[in-house]
Copies of this chain bind each other. A is one copy, B any other.
Amino acid sequence: MSLVDELRDAVGGEHVLTDPDVVAGYVTDWTGRYAGHTPAVVRPATTGEVAAVLAVCRGVRHPLVPQGGNTGLVAGGVPLAGEVVLSLRRLATVGPVDLAAGQVTAASGASLAEVQRAASAAGWAYGIDLSARDSATVGGMVATNAGGVHVIRHGHTRAQLTGIEAVLADGSVVRHLAGLDKDNTGYDLAGLLCGSEGTLGVITAARLRLVAAPVAPVAALAAFDDVATAVAAAATARRSVASLQALELLLDDGVELVAGELGVRRPFAARHAAYLLVEAETGGSIAAFAGAIDGLAGAVDVAVADDPERRRALWLVRDRHAEAIALLGPVLKLDVAVPLSVLGDFVDALPGVVEGAAPGARTWRFGHAGDGNVHVNVTGFGDRAEAATEAVLSLTAQHGGSISAEHGIGTLKRRWLHLSRTPEEIAAFRSLKRALDPDGILNPNALLPPE
């Protein structure tokens, strides 16, 4: 029996896709820069069917790539080397909110927006938010330890995770979903699978911590004459702004692009070199928040938005960066982080090194100033994508940073993993990989470089 026939037996014929037109959306990544091929896209509906698919693939040693919403930016969820695509989207149940614990169990294929809605309907909130919320799935977010704009308040996805269900390469199902806040009974398998990018197991469900719905969130935009002053103010804001929820860095060129290309209203009459978008939960009293913002050293202009509409308007300037940049042509999206103490230097040095590696390229910088995370977007790089990538990642490493703050390593960055990890760490990673996936069938071309 052929591989495809075996897969049909495992999940039912109508859930094994082979028609090239249908398959196209599964083999090409969100950026459009990476496209692969696959013998089949398999869409199981239950954890048992996932285990059956793994058994088939293991039996013939055919590797697979787990895929959620396919919103990844590092080519970690597409079959670049002919892997089977294991789509988890049909595992989409979001369980009832456990009101006593403030938690919910969600299957891998549920979208972030669905989790947010379930939480909200029960009077809670989910601590993670990011702009791909309608497409990004729980499984993908756990597999990549997704971050987003609220990491500064609630931490990354791993911090929301109190339990997991996953199918390991040997077909065994590990299930630990009681959702205890305190549980020291063995190794942190949930935390290990989180961020493993589908290379150690296939996540089928997650138990997620919820947070109190924010009371009266308020946003402000503060303008600065240079990046260094804005970054210093961000460090101050981390301590001086109570219940800080977001702390985003924007630069003049990005704001101008969003205004010019998309008609989004400029926040101030005058242009400024750098901006901090600050959001906090005020609980109804805005005075302390406004005072803290006014107290940021070097702020030359400040706008406080205390009603939802003005708050949304401020966020538009930030949220529509990706869209505006995409209008310029192919985009190299490099997500990195550096220690806060060197963030200003790093941001200032970026355009020069990119220009050196890819003459004529433009570098767009924005991100989460509260945790040193910069989303570096490069346009106009021509045929110099590799060189521009290497320049940005090397500069990151020179600043003691991480070549992947929140998107993961995927296939895109694995040849540069050594810039952030020592040979000893990579050797330990390989030991863990061999232990849980001895046949190397789970997303073998992601995360670890070839030996």
**Residues in B neighbouring A186, C-beta threshold 8 A:** 195, 409, 417, 420-421, 425-426, 429, 447-448
Binds B, one of A1-9, A155-163, A270-278, A310-318: A155-163
Binds B, one of A59-67, A251-259, A337-345: A337-345
Is A181 in the interface zone, CB < 8 Å from B? yes
Interface SS majority for chain A: loop
Is A192 in the interface zone, CB < 8 Å from B? yes
**Residues in B neighbouring A71, C-beta threshold 8 A:** none
Q: Apart from A173-B424, A174-B424, A188-B191, list 6 A-B contacts with CB within 8 A.
A: A152-B181, A182-B368, A182-B371, A183-B337, A186-B426, A187-B200
Binds B, one of A15-23, A34-42, A98-106: A98-106
Binds B, one of A261-269, A301-309, A398-406: A398-406
A346 to chain B, nearest CB (A): 12
User: Once the chains are docked, how many angstroms separate the CA of A278 from the CA of B376?
Assistant: 45
- Let me know if A400 and B182 touch, CB within 8 A: no
Tier of interface size on chain A: 35 or more
Contact of A428 among B174, B242, B402 (CB under 8 A): B174
Known: A340-B101, A341-B101. A181 touches B426 (CB 8 A): no
Most B CB contacts (10 A, CB to CB) among A242, A417, A431 go to: A431
Q: Mark A171-186, 1 if CB is under 8 A from B, else 0.
A: 0111110111111111
Contact of A235 among B100, B371, B408 (CB under 8 A): B100
**Residues in B neighbouring A173, C-beta threshold 8 A:** 424
- Let me know if B178 and A339 touch, CB within 8 A: yes
**Residues in B neighbouring A428, C-beta threshold 8 A:** 168, 172, 174, 187, 189, 436
User: Once the chains are docked, how many angstroms separate the CA of A317 from the CA of B311?
Assistant: 46
Contact of A422 among B152, B156, B175, B425 (CB under 8 A): B175
Is A372 in the interface zone, CB < 8 Å from B? yes
Is A359 in the interface zone, CB < 8 Å from B? no
A76 to chain B, nearest CB (A): 10
User: Once the chains are docked, how many angstroms separate the CA of A274 from the CA of B176?
Assistant: 31
Binds B, one of A111-119, A143-151, A220-228, A381-389: A143-151
Is A373 in the interface zone, CB < 8 Å from B? yes
**Residues in B neighbouring A424, C-beta threshold 8 A:** 168, 172-175
- Let me know if B184 and A192 touch, CB within 8 A: no
Q: 12 A-B pairs, CB-CB below 8 angstroms?
A: A100-B339, A145-B184, A155-B155, A158-B188, A168-B424, A178-B401, A182-B402, A185-B404, A186-B425, A186-B448, A188-B188, A192-B432
